[in-house]
Structure 1
Amino acid sequence: MKTATKKQLKKRIVNAYDYRDESQKLLYQAVRFSDKSFAYRRPNPENPPDPERRLDPNDPDDKKHWLWGIGDKTKRVLYHLPRWLVASKQDWQIIVEGEKDAETLERLGLAATTNPMGAGKWNPDYNRHCKSRLVMIICDRDEQGEHHGLQVATSLHGITTETRIAFIDPDLPEHSDVTDLVEKHNWTAKDFSDLIDKTPAFTPKETGSRIIAQKLSDIEPVPVQWLWFNRFALGKLCLLVGNPGVGKSFASLDIAARISAGNYWPDGDNLPDGSNCAPQGSVLILTAEDGLADTVRPRLDKMEADCKNIFAVEGVHIEQEDEQSKSWPDDKVPVTDSFDLSRDILLLEKKLKELHNVKLIIIDPLSAYYGTKVDTHKNAAIRSVLAPLAELAERYNVCVIGISHLRKSTSEAAIYRVTGSIGQTAAARATWLIHPDKDNEDRRLLICLKNNLTREKSGLAFQIIDGRIEYEQTVITDNADDIFRDESEHGPGIQRAMEFLDGIFIENTSPKAEEIMQKADKAGISYRTLNRAKVKLNIESKQYPYGWRWEKPGQEEKSKEKSGTAET
């Protein structure tokens, strides 16, 4: 709602247009000033204007009789509503944009009206005054006017007996309106009647909420494009998760370094031809935890990254109204706020367009960039933020790796241990866990938590040596659930597995390996935990003609079946 400013109050009022309800009660006026600007005012109920001077736009006692603004409780009505309602429903009535145009048509003997506050302000409540009437809409010749006319026509569809909409001749100057047609081009009532006759009935395009579906036969199948084969895909949102201090950021920078220089992947010897090296391109990094100068850049240098291809987001510049015409040098634009995924996804897209050949976006950690208004524990809230990010990744064929922490609880399945809502893990197409090796505190395991894009889920092991990640050449098949089950205070654990084996050896000094594993599985002890307990108890595996057995060294009593009659 537009109210008059002090500057407007000093300007000369050139006209005032009355808005009355069905009973002729004056509700408010649209006031037109000498500079063609508008404001609205309503009668002061405690000191209403003199009926004889009500239309005097420059009444010296103006301030006493009027309150600026329509008022929140004031009923909104169409212009000259009483005249509109008494017009015959058998005759065409015209809706235009602006009170001046409505009066121009009325002087030609036509029923006309407009809505208050200009284009784009049609209220569905006005529809009832058009019910069962013949309504013609004539749009101003500009984009805003045409959009407004379509909005009104769509709103009236099914309410009126018939609705038609006409657009002023495009050969006429922009912003031409009904008054221009009459005053500059000598249109008469017959011209408007002819325009109505040759205008077809309006049929709106389908609008509103709907389900959008695509026939799968129209979709061309394409293979998954991998950034790192079977681990991180281009065009997809992925996660890299783990406890603080395990090397998540380090590992992500190692990936960034390889992409920036097009270097070999650590398991490149085992990858298909053409997938051995990282696709060289640009990397965009958002980091909220590490300093760029003292941490990120030194690490990348150690990793032999090409830092010309790596860009760090420092924040965003949100333009204020008072600086819309101000031009900043590229290296002098001030940061005014932190990057916010829920607000700045279009700015991220703009940056992707500016940079050349972006292959990877790292967001470290993801939770730092959700924004203050997003509840990270609610599925819907997380999905509403990550869905546009995933769509952006697909559209620009860029891999997004979001880094996240783990919850302290060890009683849940591994995939539920990622902090925040499960919606975060569900939105990711692949989630990789970095976790310390319990038997070697310097060794880290890169383990697959989920991968919707391939059945291959083998992992890798690495150590951080002299500021670089050194990967082992062999793949690992460790399972994240087994690892967490080993560490669980409520699960079997190493101690329980050791007690289990002690019980087995009381019954049999040389038990069959296969039977031990079957009993352990029934007891809820994982294969990994069982083997770790075996190592701690110094149990050895020995092969006999009819199978493998486990034995404790130094035990004197041997099973009679070891003589060669052992059963399989």
Structure 2
Amino acid sequence: MVSIPHNKLSNKRKSSKSLGKSKQVTPAIESPEAWAARYCTERGFDWEFAKKSDCERVDDAGAGRHGYVRRGGIIFHSNDPITHQRLTSGPLRHQHPIPYTEKGKAKERKFSQRKDSPYEPYFAPSMDWKRAFKDAKVDMILSEGPTRSLAGAKHERYVIALPGVNGHGSGDELHASLRRVIWKGRKVYICFDADAESNPDVRHHEQALARKLAKLGAVVYIVRIPQFAPRAGLDDLIGRSGDAGLQLQLDAAQPYNSEAAGVPIIECVADVEAREVEYLWDQRLPFSMLSGLEGNPGDGKTFIALEIAARGSRGQQPYSKAKCQPFNTLYMSYENITAITTKQRFSAMGGDQKRLFVLNGARNHDGTERTITLADVGTIEMAIKKTHARLVIIDPLQSYMGANVDSHKANETRPLLDALAKVAERLNICILIIRHLAKSSGGRAVHKGLGSIDITGAMRSVMMVGTAPDEPQNRALVHTKSNIGPLGESLRFSIEGKDNTAKVAWKGTSELTAADLAAPDAGKRRETQIGRAQKYLLTALADGPKPVNALVEGRDGEFSLQVLQKAGKELGVAKSREGEGGAWVWALQEFKFARKKAAQMSE
């Protein structure tokens, strides 16, 4: 049993006596007019358009007079699409949702229907449905909820809004109002909310509707809304990205197979033409894939990213200065002000300013501006195409995840990154994602990035920036992960200059590893590690030369080859090959000294 309280909301302030001695501030209450205007604008149309489309704003008493629950809001009066006669089935969207409980869980009811009125599809009154029903050349979109139909109508799109995902009719029959449409040969897009693919019930009705339409001869496509909010819909998408954003999703829609819903897309490896990985920066930044750059605040992540962009704008790779085709960069950052930071740093690094573009946000259809998130993948792709960028820098990732996405949950982050990866592959560009390190200590360096480990999993190549523990005045860039080839050498660099005119100065290669950069008290730990490695070498080589492979494998692989090389260099270890092309062998030059030194260090 579902109980819904019908009592009116009270906006009266409590008396000062009931509040006690402490002074409390009553939050501002949004007026019905302001709420209605905001509600419509966020969904891709304005209140004036809504009024012309037979929408009515009512208070509690007005809602009661129309036969609804006495809770004010907007009535979306429903009209017959052919005769334009007003029906009784229009829903009411409450300004203040009605709380209720169902199976012990607290919920909110945002829409109400007149008592005993039928649930009918909604047709935006401003559209010429009589003509569209007969003309199969007119594309149609089927969604759910009246605001979807109005948002589409604002851009002259024919959107039929079902009263719910199950409102397409019972059994194999379409709803009576939908049977008036000539479906044969018509292109139809089914566009349910963003949870359509993950919600089994929504998915079931999506496929059932597609099957019915396909049987009637319609050419059916399934549209996926980016999940920038848990249940984002067609109207939310238009409100964020305009009609162009919707068009991108329609272009990417997948055709429904009437014989087998969800038919697998298979390619035979024998039919695939092999190709080599292409790099924007050799070994480190591949085209067509996502790459990462991680580090603590202030360690130089943005400097390195802009150094890559600046060098590339002049046709050079970083560090090696190897020649490449000059390229444009699209820079995304809410942390850095273009005029103060980005422009000056890029110029100090010698970048061609005509090749750097900054994506500051998106402009809605009504002229208002807003920030973007990774869910706005359509907007990002449009920006890439408009600027002809080969490199996209996202600085940092956390600024673009969105308020409704938990970066520690793989099931929420992976769809966003997968969609972004598809853009990289489709446009053959490099996308570099900057990420802060987590505060927690311990664990492998590759797991240090803030958020879900699956974020690292989505990246094909990852680099880490940090202060060099053995040279605190310098920093290091370490290649920590590559799924497509060998790791690049670790590089030392410093930041030279002051404030926003500082730039990267490369200092050569390094033996530092990601573990060295990520470890707490890295300098002290590294000295301890080198010291332990020296003790190990003195003991292992005290009785004579040994192959270097045996040394690396000894002590269960405690020391990497780089650490042993550093320790061996400080001890003056002699290195030689056993014959032509043979294994490398290490030896101490003075066995007596070695035994004595080993004994001293073990005390």
Give TM-score, length-normalised by structure 2: 0.56
Relative to structure 1, is the Cα distance of residues 279 and 7 closer, same or farther in structure 2, using a 3 angstrom cutoff?
A: same
1:414 to 434, 445, 450: 445
1:316 equivalent in structure 2? 362
Task: Render the CA deviation track for 1:352-391: whole Å, top value 9, x for unaligned.
Answer: 2222x31111000011101101110011111111011110
Q: Partners of 2:592 and 2:534 in 1: how far apart?
A: 14
State the secondary structure of the residue aligned to 2:329: strand
Can you list the C-alpha shifts for 1:21-61, whole angstroms capped at 9, x where unaligned?
A: xxxxxxxx98669993633259xxxxxxxxxxxxxxxxxxx
Q: Write out per-residue CA displacement over residues 480-531 of structure 1, whole angstroms, 9 at most, x where no aligned residue.
A: 2465569579x976447647866997x8996657599569734835555567
Displacement of 1:548 in angstroms is 2.0
| Distance change >3 Å, CA 286–CA 510, structure 1 → 2 | same
User: 2:390 maps to which residue?
Assistant: 359
2:274 counterpart letter in structure 1: P
2:297 alignment partner, one of 244, 247, 251: 244
Q: Residues 518-567 of structure 1: CA distance to partner in whole angstroms, max 9, x if unpaired? A: 697348355555676788xx7544689996227799999699xxxxxxxx
Classify 1:404/1:165 alpha carbon distance in 2 versus 1 (closer, same or farther; 3 Å): closer
Deviation sequence 1:211-258 (CA, Å, 0-9, x none): 322222332222222111221112211001112211110000001111
CA contact (8 A) 1:345 1:389 kept: yes
Q: How do 1:130-145 residues align onto structure 2 when only pairs under 5 Å count?
A: 139-140=181-182
SS of the counterpart of 2:373?
coil
1:280 corresponds to: 326
2:545 and 2:437 map into 1 onto residues whose CA distance is 35
Name the counterpart of 2:149: none
Letter in structure 2 aligned against 1:296? T
Question: Does 2:596 correspond to 1:548?
Answer: no
Aligned AA for 2:287?
L
Equivalent of 1:433 in 464, 468, 488: 464
How many residues get paired? Answer: 411
Aligned to 1:257: 310
Distance 1:37 1:495, change over 3 A: same
Aligned residue for 2:428, secondary structure, equals coil
1:447 to 454, 475, 478: 478
Structure 2: stretches of 5+ with no match in the other structure: 1-50, 59-76, 91-110, 122-128, 134-145, 147-158, 191-204, 220-255, 579-584, 599-603
CA distance 1:518–1:385, shift in 2 (3 Å): closer
Match of 2:271 among 212, 218, 222: 218
In structure 2, the CA distance between the partners of 1:221 and 1:33, relative to structure 1 (3 Å rule), is closer
Q: Secondary structure at the match of 2:363?
A: coil
Q: Aligned pair in 2 of structure 1 residues 465, 77: CA closer, same or farther (>3 Å)?
A: closer
Change (3 A) 1:139 1:431: same
Q: Is the 8 A contact 1:540 1:552 kept in 2?
A: no
What does residue range 424-503 of structure 1 map to in structure 2 within 5 Å? 424-466=455-497, 467-473=502-508, 475-481=509-515, 484=518, 494-495=527-528, 498=531
Partner amino acid, structure 2, of 1:127: S
Structure 2 residue aligned with 1:378: 409
Distance 1:256 1:548 in 2: 46
- The answer to whether 1:38 aligns with 2:86 is yes
1:241 and 1:431 in contact (8 A); partners too: yes
Change in CA separation of 1:549 and 1:365 when aligned onto 2, cut-off 3 Å? same
When residues 514 and 295 of structure 1 are mapped into structure 2, their CA distance, relative to the original with a 3 A threshold, is farther
| Structure 1: runs of 5 or more not aligned | 9-28, 43-67, 79-96, 102-116, 168-202, 269-275, 324-332, 560-568
CA positional deviation for 1:460? 2.2
CA distance in 1, matches of 2:478, 2:533: 28
SS in structure 2 at match of 1:389 = helix
Tell me, what secondary structure is at the counterpart of 1:285? strand
Q: Distance in 2 between matches of 1:145 and 1:519?
A: 64
Distance of 1:421 and 1:138 partners within structure 2? 50
Specify the code of the residue in structure 2 equivalent to 1:452: N
Taking the aligned partners of 2:398 and 2:516, their CA distance within structure 1 comes to 27
One-letter amino acid of the counterpart of residue 462, structure 2: T
| DSSP 3-state at the match of 2:476 | strand
Task: Give the counterpart letter for 1:548 in structure 2.
Answer: A
How far apart, CA to CA, are the structure 2 residues paired with 1:227 and 1:358? 12
Q: Which amino acid aligns with 2:443?
A: E
- Counterpart of 1:440 in 2: which secondary structure? coil
Larger radius of gyration: 1
- SS, match of residue 393 in structure 2: strand
Deviates more, 1:295-304 or 1:221-230: 221-230
Give the Cα separation in 2 of the matches to 1:247 and 1:509.
41
- Is the alpha carbon distance of 1:145 and 1:456 closer, same or farther for their aligned partners in structure 2, counting shifts above 3 Å? closer
Cα distance in 1 for residues equivalent to 2:56 and 2:553? 88
Given the superposition, is the C-alpha separation of residues 244 and 553 from structure 1 closer, same or farther in structure 2, using an over 3 Å criterion? Answer: farther
Same amino acid, percent of matched pairs: 22
Q: Is the 8 A contact 2:89 2:117 kept in 1?
A: no
| Contact 1:447-1:479 within 8 A present in 2 as well | yes
Structure 1 segment 29-428 matched on structure 2, within 5 A:
36=84, 38-40=86-88, 71=114, 74=117, 76=119, 119=160, 121=162, 126-128=169-171, 139-140=181-182, 205-206=258-259, 208-268=261-321, 276-319=322-365, 323=366, 336-342=369-375, 344-355=376-387, 357-428=388-459
In structure 2, C-alpha distance between the alignment counterparts of 1:248 and 1:282, rounded to whole Å? 19
Structure 2 counterpart of 1:349, which letter? E
Q: Secondary structure at the match of 1:442?
A: coil
Q: Which residue of 2 aligns with 1:23?
A: none
Which deviates more, 462-471 or 384-393?
462-471
TM-score (norm 1): 0.59
Call closer, same or farther: CA 1:298–1:39 in 2, change over 3 Å. same
AA aligned opposite 1:139: V
CA 1:354/1:542 → structure 2, altered by over 3 Å: closer, same or farther? closer
Q: Equivalents in 2 of 1:463, 1:504: separation in Å?
A: 32
Which residue of the partner structure matches residue 179 of structure 1?
A: none
- Aligned equivalents of 2:554, 2:211: Cα separation in 1: 72
Distance 1:127 1:443, change over 3 A: same
**Secondary structure in 2 matching 1:441:** coil
Cα distance, 1:363–1:36 mapped onto 2, change above 3 Å: same
1: distance between equivalents of 2:415 and 2:335? 24
* Aligned residue identity for 1:279: Q
1:521 aligns to 2:555 (yes or no): yes
CA-to-aligned-CA distance 1:416-450 (integer Å, 9 cap, x gap): 11111011111011001112221111222221111
Contact 1:434–1:444 (Cα < 8 Å) also in 2: yes
1:127 counterpart SS class = coil
Over 3 Å counting, the alpha-carbon distance change for 1:454 and 1:73 in structure 2 is: farther
Superposition CA RMSD, Å: 5.1
Q: Kindly tell me: are residues 542 and 142 of structure 1, through their superposed partners in 2, closer, same or farther at Cα, counting changes over 3 Å?
A: closer
Distance 1:166 1:239 in 2: 44
Could you say if the C-alpha distance between residues 486 and 503 of structure 1 is closer, same or farther in structure 2, counting changes exceeding 3 Å? farther
The answer as to whether partners of 1:462 and 1:470 remain within 8 angstroms in 2 is: yes
